[in-house]
Amino acid sequence: MDLYNEAQKRKLEYTTRRHFLKKCSTGLGGIALASLMGPQYMFGGNNTVNSLDPGSLPHFLPKAKRVIYLHMAGAPSQLELFDYKPALQKLHGLDCPQSLLEGKRFAFIQGVPKMLGPQFNFKKYGQSGTYVSDALPHFSEIVDDVAIVKSMHTDEFNHAPAQLLLQTGSPRSGRPSIGAWVTYGLGSENENLPGYMVLVSGGKNPSAGKNAWGSGFLPSEYQGVQCRNSGDPILYVSNPNGMSRDIRKKSLDAINEINRSQYKEFNDDETLSRISQYEMAFKMQVSVPDVMDVSKEPEYIRDMYGAKQGEASFANNCLLARRLVEQGVRFVQLYHWGWDMHGDSKATSLNEGLKTKCGEVDQPMAALVKDLKQRGLLDDTLVVWGGEFGRTPMRENRGGRIMPYYGRDHHTEAYSIWMAGGGIKGGISYGETDEIGYYGVKDRVHIHDLQATILNQLGINHEKFTYHFQGRDFRLTDVHGRVVKDLLV
């Protein structure tokens, strides 16, 4: 007789289902209570606070319906392209005065650097008489359609945080990017394509990585969809062998049906996101290969951009950007990598590397503005071109040594961008920097001001456009930003 086993057996016989239910009353009750009080709170959904009234946006009559953002990752030198400083030429090669260095921090400059004059010649172009350097011959043809802002400034002097600040309003990752905000607020104009698409050229992703087009705390269907330059534009966009479009449709319908009943039960917003993503993916199987096919353009248009089929070039991406906005994509973002001209090698020198980069973007970006204009799209498409910060009027002296080539260090206080279309004045230069382009001295424009202005053109009041997350309302511009009225028509 095994007393121990006998005791176990008796105990198990004694313990009935009733005991279980009795003992669990607090735990089960708690779970039941939570699901009664509001199932959405159990699964992270918060669809009551943020249910965006579809009728509430835009806040006022928009000037622009779409945005093409041309981000020059690495930060081009304003002193070689737009901000003409003859006085800096005179100081070329002299020691930088101590007054400019005191209390300053640079990414690489150490000790006393030398001043560095502009490396390209400038001429006036257009009826507006806008100064543009020789490096951008095609751009000089469109200056009368463009507003150049020369007094941009930012808070961050390293690439990744500066790119994030520009694209998400915060130098740390995790916030939604401006494209996600805009598509969240205004939706897409074409149900067959994502509202926010991203094209990358120049050989590398931007330093900020995919956070630069992330959706942060917004529903994930608003994140930017990156398209590839070769193969399928989007991974797995074509059906595998043996899978017909009908079968694909049936299987997606079945999955969505399950997801829908799941949503009914748990009210988690991300389930809805997932459903719409599946539906979008199915439509994209047809629409994306079509819209991403450069060969559908006539040859003279391809030549205008300098686009060649199958290339991962900025020219192709500019042409694609036009095709996308033509189809009603709300926010198209182009990243072109490689503007970080420190002067440590030939490829990163102002005289050689910058010229190459300018050659890659000059014709396509001018063609983009012209092409949008002749199609009547420039009226309601806002084009923005610029880097994440500027470059110093001093020559970089990494480690206190003389660099092999001419280069400039990162600079936050003053740099230039340009904007065109979407209700922005053409043929103006806004803001002024001092004689050497070191500080903005008139009409300074902060990154948040730029963001506020872009949203304003889309009919959005940046102070009212919020999303409730982790206990507070978030804005793209946080607590900053003012619309730059002088730039508007």
- Taking CB under 8 A as the rule, does residue 393 contact other proteins? no
For other proteins, which residue of 210, 228, 355, 373 counts as binding (CB under 8 A)?
373
Q: Least distance from C-beta 488 to other proteins, angstroms?
A: 8
Residues 430-459 binding other proteins (CB under 8 A) are 459
The set of residues, in sequence order, having a beta carbon less than 8 Å from that of 58 and lying 6+ positions away, is 185, 186, 458, 459, 460
- Taking CB under 8 A as the rule, does residue 189 contact other proteins? yes
What is the number of H-type helices and E-type strands within the chain? 14, 17
For other proteins, which residue of 210, 228, 480, 482 counts as binding (CB under 8 A)?
482
Nearer to other proteins, 230 or 374 (CB): 374
Distance CA 58, CA 465 (A): 10
Distance CA 352, CA 338 (A): 13
Q: Least distance from C-beta 58 to other proteins, angstroms?
A: 5
Tell me the window of 10-18, 122-130, 132-140, 373-381 that interacts with other proteins (CB under 8 A).
373-381
- Taking CB under 8 A as the rule, does residue 192 contact other proteins? yes
- Taking CB under 8 A as the rule, does residue 287 contact other proteins? yes
CB 167 within 8 A of CB 212: yes
Q: Least distance from C-beta 121 to other proteins, angstroms?
A: 26
- Taking CB under 8 A as the rule, does residue 51 contact other proteins? no
- Taking CB under 8 A as the rule, does residue 379 contact other proteins? yes
Distance CA 444, CA 450 (A): 11
CB 66 within 8 A of CB 382: yes
Q: Least distance from C-beta 410 to other proteins, angstroms?
A: 30
Nearer to other proteins, 41 or 60 (CB): 60
- Token duo for residue 225: 């969809």
For 360-371, letters b (16+ CB in 10 Å) and e give: bbbbbbbbbbbb
Helix, strand and coil percent figures for the chain, each rounded to 5: 40, 15, 45
β-pair type (196-201, 225-227): parallel
Nearer to other proteins, 189 or 232 (CB): 189
- From residue 54 to residue 93, the character string flagging contacts with other proteins as x (rule: CB under 8 A) and all else as - is -xxxxxxxx-------------------------------
Nearer to other proteins, 59 or 114 (CB): 59
Nearer to other proteins, 23 or 249 (CB): 249
Length of the chain (residues): 489
Distance CA 110, CA 107 (A): 9
- Strands, E assignment, 287-348: 331-337
Tell me the window of 190-198, 219-227, 329-337, 338-346 that interacts with other proteins (CB under 8 A).
190-198
Q: Which residues contact other proteins (rule: CB under 8 A)?
A: 55-62, 189-192, 287, 326-328, 370, 373-376, 379, 459, 482, 485-486, 488
